[in-house]
Chains A and B, each alone.
Chain A
Amino acid sequence: SQKIEQNSEALNIQEGKTATLTCNYTNYSPAYLQWYRQDPGRGPVFLLLIRENEKEKRKERLKVTFDTTLKQSLFHITASQPADSATYLCALSNTNAGKSTFGDGTTLTVKP
């Protein structure tokens, strides 16, 4: 069955450093991979979508890579700030708007 694993439930880093979150998957060949941010008591918020034929995508301080050979995506936040503290979820799908399967998330804490 499809399985998505996000690295360690929690990640703590110092302000200004680069945070790197990992999303690994098995028994799946997704065409799209998405990253979301979720704050306590709120719904997930879409950040970035990357296609299987794209190696890397950037948006401001965010960078996502997608390696279909390793079956892995890396999500980087450069120059991290305490406001970046949240849970980050990856999601895999075969279409850019249809059914997605979500990972359990990694909770990032950026300390001042």
Chain B
Amino acid sequence: DAGVIQSPRHEVTEMGQEVTLRCKPISGHDYLFWYRQTMMRGLELLIYFNNNVPIDDSGMPEDRFSAKMPNASFSTLKIQPSEPRDSAVYFCASSLSGGDYGYTFGSGTRLTVV
């Protein structure tokens, strides 16, 4: 397996624009997580899915953020409209229940909102 695949790797956008981040989890994994990492706040959980169903979105900062998982092999995180304070590295991770293998993280998307 190629691991968790995220795109794009880097995104620079202007304030007010819509941003869509994409993630392909490891095949067979039943959990998918979206995390955001900044120097100030570390790794923060935004939302996670189990079997494509959103379980906990309490970490989503505002209504400007939304996430979907239309099938087991794809998820998106959308920010609309984007603001400079959204600048961060966004990670997608997947895991398999019943196994002691932890999370497999993607390489992340570095988002810069100017």
Contacts and interface: CB of A to CB of B under 8 A. Distances in A.
B98 interface: yes
B107 A42 contact: yes
B93 A43 contact: yes
Given A43-B106, A102-B43, A97 B96 contact: yes
Contact of B42 (A42, A51, A105): A105
Contacts of A45: 105
A36 B101 CA distance: 11
Q: How large is the interface on A (under 10, 10 to 19, 20 to 34, 35 or more residues)?
A: 20 to 34
B48 A99 contact: yes
Interface string A30-55: 00001010000011111101010000
A95 B105 contact: no
Contacts of A105: 42
B45 A101 contact: yes
B97 A95 contact: yes
Nearest to B30: A97
A7 interface: no
B99 interface: yes
Contacts of A94: none
A98 B97 contact: yes
Interface of A: 34, 36, 42-47, 49, 51, 89, 91, 95-105
20 contacts: A36-B102, A36-B103, A42-B108, A43-B106, A43-B108, A44-B91, A44-B103, A46-B102, A49-B102, A91-B102, A95-B97, A96-B98, A97-B31, A97-B101, A98-B31, A98-B48, A99-B45, A99-B48, A100-B45, A102-B35
